[in-house]
Amino acid sequence: MLKIRWFRGQWLHITFSKVLLYVVMIILVCFTALPLIYLISTAFKPLDELFLYPPRFFVQNPTTKNFSDLVVSLGSSTVPFPRYAFNSIVITTIIVICTVIVSSMGAYSLVKLQPPGGVFLFNLILVALMFSPHVTKIPSYMVVNGLGLINTYGALILPNIAVAYNIFLIKQFMEQYPNELLEAARIDGAGEFRIFMQMVMPALKPATATLTVFSFVNNWNDYFSPLIYVTSQAMKTLPLALQTIGGGAAGMSVGRAGAVAAATFLMTAPTVIIFVIKQGQVMETMTYSGIKG
Amino acid sequence: MIKKNKKPQSALIAQKKLTPAEAIKRFWRKNWLGYAFLAPFLILFTIFIVAPVVTAIGLSFTDYNMMQTPHYVGLNNYRLLFLDDEVFLTGLSNTLTFAIITGPVGYLLSFFAAWVINQLKFKRVFALAFYAPSICSGIAMSTVWMVIFSSDRMGYLNNFLLNLGLIDEPILWNTDPNYIMGVVMFISLWMSMGTGFLVFLAGLQNVPHSYYEAAAIDGVKNKFQELFYVTLPMMKPQLLFGAINAITGAFGVFDIAVSVAGMPSPNYAAHTIVAHLYDYAFIRFQMGYASAVAVVLFIITFVLGRIVMRVLSSKDE
């Protein structure tokens, strides 16, 4: 065991097991993070470095040519790349906003207003948590088809708003909110809607931020919904577009390797960025035990 | 979990202050609002989740191609699935193998990581590095991993193994049926470690410090005893959430398999239940038969979910 004088007169205790722990964690972190670093590095590689033998991990002369290729060369072909990005952004944003509102309202009702039948509904939600979403896709497809929504944004948005996970998540946090505060507000004459908007929603902020992250990530990456609800090229979202550009599983077509790397980078960046921005609140959600009593 | 029992008190106040008519009025007003708040969720949930599950079960006993009206065929679809459809059985066994390995391994690894990271400095950085792969698209990550698993000499892994002299010629990672599932599992595992991770980290941080202090007085000596006697029992809700997540994730394997091996994959080596469902529902439009596949998937995940719930339930405490 080693003792080092740390700043402010504190002593830093370094034990062998602690060092070992950090080393193990750093190896694990390398394992999880290296492909992502490779992804960033590759997106900025010029053509000759992309096909270097033996392959090199880090980029030597970074360039943004891959990105302009992605926009320009693919723009002339069928559907311009920005169109896919636009589809993804619109759909994901609308879903996130709607699901946060709908889930919070529903959870408030289930936890604090407790209308008869609420327990039954919650049990259904628990059941819905337990099977993979693919189970419902066939009848959902028929509903969407019946409503004439195939190849529209509606097809990609409506079925993805009421997600069992989302309301479950909010409900769990809502349970920590003290009933006494609500009673006090009611006695003071505040309406339920006002209580919900001015008291409950602000208190839920860490939870809704967490839900925003989860919901954004899931829908941004959703591959199955656009695969079945969308047939026209112009309505496809990024995950499908990426497969089209990459030429599917047959392996990357040589000429587009740079564009694929750039597209992959552009597709991955938003989810990581939104998590980094919200990470503080997501973590706060986690240390959110002050109110628990 | 400690449940607060405030109801009798408020009921007492209500009895004192309100006449019966007013109480009924208040009751109705309260419930009306409750349903109003619940309505948007309830409607969408019913249309896109509850009704579809019921419909899928119904359709699974029929022959339906979206053109003609469905007609009842009894258990025929299931008989075909399990007795005649070898591709489905391949998909089923692939999915089971995949789930049995990646589910528990991913679950334990993510819990272990959360437990360790919770005790480290620079929590945020470690958490980000750990969580990042799981918030990336499976499709996007497969393209990155396919460079590493590329089947020619250019592939990083082949290149590496060739240089070490472990292999003489490149391994066809994504076309050789012997390796495909391994590659899919590896990528999925790498991606799924973060799924339960955040929930576990949340649970760990929510265990009150006083519990550890009390446990220390009661004779808990080291971190592992703390883990088993204090942390795990306190974390049951999060463990349950993570387990259910892991089950549905593991049985829903599809997009990574498709982007690694294509569809159909060589010799159906990466065929999964969801791939079978997709194939019959949205390529061949045999909705009745595909619904039977969906019902099988539903039953498997549901039964496993119930078992996990029984084990990790914290309702009685």
pLDDT confidence tier of residue A292, bands split at 50, 70 and 90? very low
Mean pLDDT over the full length of chain A: 81
- Decide if B317 is inside a domain: no
Greater confidence (A289 vs A1) lies with A1
* CATH assignment at residue B159: 1.10.3720.10
> Residue A11 belongs to what H/E stretch?
strand A11-14
Is the domain of B132 the same as that of B244? yes
- Are the beta carbons of A50 and A258 closer than 8 angstroms? yes
CA separation, residue A265 to residues A46, A272, B154, B190 (Å): 15, 11, 21, 18
**ipTM confidence:** 0.82
Residue A270 CA to residue A284 CA, distance in Å, equals: 21
Report the residue of chain A nearest B203, measured CA to CA: A286
Chain B hits for A55, CB-CB cut-off 8 Å, are 154, 156, 159
Chain A hits for B201, CB-CB cut-off 8 Å, are 286
Would an 8 Å CB–CB cutoff place A288 in contact with chain B?
yes
Residue A208 CA to residue B194 CA, distance in Å, equals: 19
Is the domain of B33 the same as that of B134? no
- Among A108, A172, A239, the residue with its CB nearest the CB of B139 is A239
Report CB contact under 8 Å: A286, B202.
Answer: yes
Is the domain of B109 the same as that of B218? yes
pLDDT confidence tier of residue A261, bands split at 50, 70 and 90? confident
pLDDT tens profile A152-173: 999 999 999 998 888 888 887 8
φ/ψ of B30, rounded to 5, equals: -60, -50
Would an 8 Å CB–CB cutoff place A147 in contact with chain B?
no
Q: pLDDT value at position A250?
A: 43
- Are the beta carbons of A291 and A176 closer than 8 angstroms? yes
Is the domain of B226 the same as that of B247? yes
Tokens of B26: 């208040």
Which region among A264-268, B122-126, B291-295 has the lowest average model confidence (pLDDT)?
B122-126
- Decide if B38 is inside a domain: yes
Q: pLDDT value at position B22?
A: 80
pLDDT confidence tier of residue A293, bands split at 50, 70 and 90? very low
Residue B63 CA to residue A73 CA, distance in Å, equals: 46
Q: How many beta-carbon pairs under 8 angstroms link A with B?
A: 302
Residue recorded with tokens 């060739």: B162
Strands A2-5 and A11-14: antiparallel
pLDDT exceeds cutoff 50 at A288: no
Q: Please state the rounded mean pLDDT for residues B273-292.
A: 89
Q: pLDDT value at position B16?
A: 58
- Among A29, A42, A106, the residue with its CB nearest the CB of B126 is A29
Chain B hits for A225, CB-CB cut-off 8 Å, are none
A contact residues 79-98, partner B, Cβ 8 Å cutoff: none
pLDDT confidence tier of residue B93, bands split at 50, 70 and 90? very high
Greater confidence (B114 vs B167) lies with B114
- Decide if B13 is inside a domain: yes
Greater confidence (B215 vs B315) lies with B215
Q: Please state the rounded mean pLDDT for residues B91-101.
A: 91
What is the CA angle A138-A141-A144, rounded to 5? Answer: 155
pLDDT tens profile A107-124: 999 988 888 888 899 888
Would an 8 Å CB–CB cutoff place A36 in contact with chain B?
yes
Is the domain of B135 the same as that of B32? no
- Decide if B288 is inside a domain: yes
pLDDT exceeds cutoff 90 at B206: no
pLDDT exceeds cutoff 60 at B90: yes
Report CB contact under 8 Å: B40, A106.
Answer: yes
Report CB contact under 8 Å: A276, B128.
Answer: yes
Report CB contact under 8 Å: B287, A196.
Answer: no
Is the domain of B82 the same as that of B188? yes
pLDDT confidence tier of residue A42, bands split at 50, 70 and 90? confident
Chain B hits for A238, CB-CB cut-off 8 Å, are 137
Residue B127 CA to residue B261 CA, distance in Å, equals: 31
Chain B hits for A36, CB-CB cut-off 8 Å, are 132-133, 136, 144
The correct CATH number of A71-286 out of 3.20.20.70, 1.10.3720.10, 1.10.30.50, 3.40.50.300 is 1.10.3720.10
- Among A22, A110, A293, the residue with its CB nearest the CB of B38 is A110
Q: Please state the rounded mean pLDDT for residues A277-286.
A: 73
Report CB contact under 8 Å: B34, A35.
Answer: no
Q: pLDDT value at position A290?
A: 25
Q: pLDDT value at position A248?
A: 46
Helix, strand, coil % in chain A, rounded to nearest 5 = 75, 5, 25
Residue A154 CA to residue A91 CA, distance in Å, equals: 9
pLDDT tens profile B214-256: 888 888 878 788 888 888 888 877 788 788 888 888 888 888 8
pLDDT exceeds cutoff 70 at B182: yes
pLDDT exceeds cutoff 50 at B79: yes
List, by residue range, all CATH 1.10.3720.10 domains of chain A.
Answer: 71-286
- Among B143, B201, B206, the residue with its CB nearest the CB of A260 is B143
Is the domain of B65 the same as that of B203? yes
Report the residue of chain A nearest B264, measured CA to CA: A249
Is the domain of B35 the same as that of B89? no
Greater confidence (B21 vs A56) lies with B21
* Domain around B15: 1-54
Q: Please state the rounded mean pLDDT for residues A181-203.
A: 87
A contact residues 157-196, partner B, Cβ 8 Å cutoff: 158-159, 161-162, 164, 167-168, 172, 179-180, 183, 192-193, 196
Tokens of A178: 């003290």
pLDDT confidence tier of residue B169, bands split at 50, 70 and 90? confident
pLDDT exceeds cutoff 60 at A3: yes
Residue A74 CA to residue B200 CA, distance in Å, equals: 43
A contact residues 114-143, partner B, Cβ 8 Å cutoff: 114-116, 118, 121, 124-143
Chain B hits for A66, CB-CB cut-off 8 Å, are none
Mean pLDDT over the full length of chain B: 81
Number of domains composing chain B: 2
- Among B156, B159, B244, the residue with its CB nearest the CB of A130 is B244
Best of A120, A167, A286 to mutate (most B CBs within 10 Å, chain B): A286
Is the domain of B43 the same as that of B171? no
Is the domain of B142 the same as that of B254? yes
Residue B280 CA to residue B59 CA, distance in Å, equals: 13
Would an 8 Å CB–CB cutoff place A225 in contact with chain B?
no
Residue A123 CA to residue A133 CA, distance in Å, equals: 17
pLDDT tens profile A56-105: 677 777 878 888 877 776 555 567 788 888 999 999 999 999 999 999 99
Report the residue of chain A nearest B296, measured CA to CA: A135
Chain A hits for B128, CB-CB cut-off 8 Å, are 275-276, 279
* Three-class secondary structure of residue B155 per DSSP: coil
Best of B136, B241, B248 to mutate (most A CBs within 10 Å, chain A): B136
